Amino acid sequence: MIPRISIVGRWLATGAAALSLLACSQGDARPKSASAKAPPQPYARDPFPSTYRAYPGVPTLVRNVTVYDGEGGRIDNGQVLFADGKIVAVGQSVNAPADAQVIDGTGKWVTPGVVDIHSHLGDYPTPSVQAHSDGNEATGPITADVWAEHSVWPQDPGFSRALANGGVTTLQILPGSANLMGGRSVVLKNVYARTMQAMKFPGAPYGLKMACGENPKRVYGSKSRQPSTRMGNIAVDRATWAKAQSYRRKWDRYDADGGDMPDRDIAMDTLRGVLAGEILIQNHCYRADEMAIVEDMAKEFGYKVTAFHHAVEAYKIADILKANGTCAAVWADWYGFKMESYDGIGENLAILERAGACAMIHSDDENGIQRLNQEVAKVLASGRRAGIDIAPQVAWKWLSLGPATALGIADRTGSLKPGKMADVVLWNGDPFSVYTRPEKVWIDGALLFDATDPKRRPVSDFELGQPGSGDVK
């Protein structure tokens, strides 16, 4: 561990101790006993809680529409009803209340909102100026202490484009990939707010961003410090996990028995959360051989890799990923921009799907996030030509339920299942056609984008009063 982090950790621990002393003197009048251990006091797991509240909506019935339910189902000439922020019913015909707003979806499609598991909106916002570059705490290879949510600028104009052009209703904001352990992610509802907390997806688990390969070794190698090689990457990772195991033992013992509170270490809190299964590993990793090594490292230390991101070579090891229960979040057709992306092919997702591995699309890009449906359409076409014919309704899982599952929120969003959040997109045609656009987007049943209504088009503070403010984008 680098000294900077332990200094920060110690400072916070001191502060916490002072606070608890204060609490004792004010409220706790029990007599002190020299022999009895002080009872354990758990630290806050959610110190920046979500204040997100769904905006009001009206009971809405979309009928005469083609439905991809996000779980692999397709209903032609179907109906979707949602009310009070929740999906109520989806089917060939549903019973709607008399006061429901009725939308004729003839020639149109309804799908669950798109979930992007890999975004840097808010922490690399536009304008992309140095003053906004808040995604990589590139000051040490292990910065598990940083939380992406503390960088998120809720006024990023990119959120509106992801909504209006991409039908994105939920997104995970990750720190960048300069570091082996780059910090915690945060999951947001794509609803503008004055504060980050008010965008925060209620109850979504945190993720820990890890990175393999060229980025960390380049960033630190160029500073002549470890890691400068792939073997250095794994060495620093393993040393850190070993320390985390010891930290976990110390705190687990304290949580059970009480006594003297161990020193808090903010970075180690996150790793302890991973080892306890509360925080999900979201691991930037391109190459097949490297992913296999990371899987073994995870077994060595008793954690699980939830998803490899940018898994350009996942198609080579679909069987290994499947056996480990690890998802692959990938681009449709990015390749050739660096050595570890040299073997990218357009059939990656299709090969993974056919092999039964968990797979999904992701953007990692403020432009790509606006067209994830089109990215999937390209994969479908490439797959079909390779003899892998995947039905479009099955492919929609790559856009919603798959990423929601890998974020640990699939019980709440990601498909049009009764009781789930009414995160819904009405597309003005087949969403896998290049000629189709989102027409309406509801989040928790509230209409937050309408292509036919200039008033349902968000304008972030930054853009207000600027050239083109309120214009179509």
- List of residues contacting another protein (CB under 8 A): 126-129, 157-158, 161, 165, 214, 315-319, 333-339, 341-347, 351, 355, 366-367, 370-371, 374, 377-378, 380-382, 384-388, 428, 432-437, 451-452, 454, 462-463, 466-468, 471-473
Please identify, using beta-carbon distances, which residue of 156 and 265 lies nearer to another protein.
Answer: 156
**DSSP conformational letter for 93:** S
* Least distance from another protein to the Cβ atom of residue 342, Å: 6
How far is 22 from 64, CA to CA, in rounded Å?
A: 64
- Residue among 96 and 350 whose Cβ is closer to another protein: 350
- Hey, what are 116's tokens? 């992007």
Q: Which is closer to another protein, CB of 370 or CB of 405?
A: 370
Least Å distance, CB 343 to another protein, is: 6
Q: How far is the CB of 169 from another protein (least distance, A)?
A: 19
Rounded to 5°, angle at Cα 227 from 223 and 232: 155
Q: Whose Cβ is closer to another protein: residue 154's or residue 207's? A: 154
The helix (run of H) or strand (run of E) holding residue 359 is strand 359-361
Provide φ and ψ at 29, rounded to 5°.
Answer: -105, 10
DSSP 360-374: EE---STTGGGGHHH
Residue type, 384: R
The minimum distance between CB 423 and another protein, in angstroms, equals 22
Instruction: For the CB of residue 338, give the shortest distance to another protein in the complex, in Å.
Output: 3
In the bound complex, what is the minimum distance in angstroms from residue 158's beta carbon to another protein? 6
- For another protein, which is the closer residue by CB, 64 or 155? 155
How far, in Å, CA of 153 to CA of 145, rounded? 19
Task: Provide Rg for the chain, Cα atoms.
Answer: 23
* CA atoms of 363 and 354, how far apart (whole Å): 22
Closer of 66 and 382 to another protein (Cβ): 382
Minimum Å gap between C-beta 279 and another protein is 30
Side chain identity, residue 322 = K
Nearest Cα to Cα of residue 141 among 69, 56, 220, 66:
220
According to DSSP, residue 316 is labeled G
